[in-house]
Amino acid sequence: MPRRAASAQPLPYGFTEVPNCERSPPLGASLVEAPASRARWLAIAPEMKGLCDEAVKRRALKLLARGARARSAAASAGAPLYEAYIADRLDLDDPLKGLVVRQRDKGWLQGFITHTTFTTWTPHFAWDSQHHASGLKGLVGTGRKLDHGVGRPQRTPLPSPRPQSTQHPRSCKDRPSLAAPPSAGAEPRSPEPAASLEPLAEGLERCARSGDWRSTGIVWPRVAEISLLAALGCGDWLVSVVLEELARDDAYDFCVVCATPGAATFYERHGFLRVGAIARYIDNDGAAPAPAAEPGDDAREAPAVKPWQAYRHWAWGDEHRDSLRTNHGEPSYMMARRVDRRSGAAEKRGDALLRQRDQRLSIKCPRLAPGSKVPPTASPPPPPPRAPPRADPAAAAPAAAAAPAPRAPAAPARPPPPPPQPRAKAGGGARPPGRAAAAAAAVALTSPPTKKPAARKPAAAPGAAKKPKSHKKKEAPPPPPKQYKPASRKRKLEPAAPPPKRAPRRAAAVAAKEALKVSAAP
């Protein structure tokens, strides 16, 4: 299916100067636009991409201001939507509905949301929150709001260990007079769970689906999908309006969204739960054998398929495994909720919300005002060189016969005369300009410096009185006082005399012994 080309006009403003929407009152000084055609959506695709990038940046900065680390803030903010993904959704979604929020005075984009009918592009897809490939069992205990029954074993009706006594009945159903007689060969049937306690995966799997995954996709007519969403302070209002519109439409029973882990808390505020989605992709290489067929599989599929794995939204059923990792990354974070019919106080709140939407829609959208920070736009690539047209030999023969004979080539023109050379001076030849400049510089360096001429006084105006000369001699300025340096108070230390040499202790002891011996002799 050929893709429609989006508008390539540069944006006249930068999203760093777009203010956030006011929350009280809702939307503040902003208006709402509902694009009526697909061409209008494609025309604002560059604005949608710029808004996605700016929303992710502001989300990361907000987390950093709260004290989060840089790595965790970037992971929680998530990655912005790819430009190719936005173009595909605007081109292939059918029907394509949504709202756009703009600034009232300048027309700058502040938010957008689109919703359509859920469509898959793989032949083997299932909603299953209990399957190990869905990854929901690993999220038990993390604080995330998961589908009902995740992490709990499936309940199966087990026979009672002992029959209940009729002497002490526990309820009216146990009394033989009120209990219905069991039919022959009938199996005990467990009571059906309430709609609020039924797992969302089971309800979604029972929905009807039809279509060819190779051309139109497999369409789920009873399931709506929020396909694109980005906003600067008005995301809650946009999602609330879309859910209210779906509640007034009897065509949908469920609403799903492919979220990111960082945006999970945002959707949980609006009643969405994490639900399991699994798929099997066709193995083009044929390296893995086909797994055992299951009840929901299509028997006409001849190529081998891979085992069940986590679903990646907007991926083809025969996409290569390397393409799944490179282009789609981690498995999709699918969330779903039921479309509840409004009544009572909820219906009154919904009516007030829709009145706000209608009031904003009635305001005329202004033209885009240029901003002071225009984003840089990449220059378009040069067009490829065109090949010269091929000459037809059949048509070239009569044209060559009718053409006149070519003229002889003209004689080449005479070359221009050389420039005149400088005349040689007496005593030497002509100096090149470089040598003359060097000689002039050497003369300037060796010559004594010239005295600077004295400044001339301006001539006196005619008729002006002359100032009389004073006969007083000019006194010479007093000499500067002598600066006496104070004498240093430090005394010069004379070198100390060296200490007398002392005999070693052993020699002194020996001399003392000899002296005692001499004095003791008779």
CA distances from 180 to 160, 162, 173, 177 (A): 18, 20, 8, 8
CB 291 within 8 A of CB 307: yes
What kind and span of H or E run contains 91?
helix 83-92
Q: Is the pLDDT of residue 90 over 60?
A: yes
CB 158 within 8 A of CB 228: no
The predicted structure's pLDDT at residue 248: 92
SS (H, E, C) 378-400: CCCCCCCCCCCCCCCHHHHHHHH
E-strand spans in 271-370?
A: 273-274, 277-280, 309-310, 333-338
CB 223 within 8 A of CB 256: yes
pLDDT in tens, 307-333: 898 998 988 887 777 776 676 668 899
Distance of CA 74 to the CA centre of its chain: 9
Measured distance CA(213)–CA(218) in Å, rounded: 5
pLDDT in tens, 255-304: 999 998 889 999 999 999 999 999 998 876 544 444 444 545 544 445 67
The residue type found at 464 is A
Measured distance CA(37)–CA(23) in Å, rounded: 29
Closest Cα to residue 107, out of 213, 201, 26, 32?
32
The predicted structure's pLDDT at residue 509: 79
pLDDT in tens, 138-160: 788 778 888 887 765 554 443 44
pLDDT in tens, 418-437: 555 555 444 444 444 455 55
The residue type found at 322 is D
Measured distance CA(419)–CA(288) in Å, rounded: 84
User: pLDDT-based confidence at 522, cuts 50/70/90?
Assistant: low
327: which DSSP letter?
A: I
CA distances from 261 to 76, 128, 333 (A): 7, 19, 7
Helix axes 83-92, 45-65, angle to 10 degrees: 130
What kind and span of H or E run contains 103?
strand 97-103
Query: Of the given ranges (28-32, 275-279, 368-372, 437-441), which has the lowest mean pLDDT?
Result: 437-441
Instruction: Output the six-digit token pair for 504.
Output: 């070693």
Q: Which of the pair, 168 or 329, is modelled with greater confidence?
A: 329
Helix residue ranges per DSSP H, 117-170: none
Q: Is the pLDDT of residue 490 over 70?
A: no
pTM score above 0.75: no
Q: Is the pLDDT of residue 213 over 60?
A: yes
Closest Cα to residue 97, out of 37, 32, 30?
37
Instruction: Output the six-digit token pair for 244.
Output: 């209210």
The residue type found at 296 is G
CB 61 within 8 A of CB 22: no
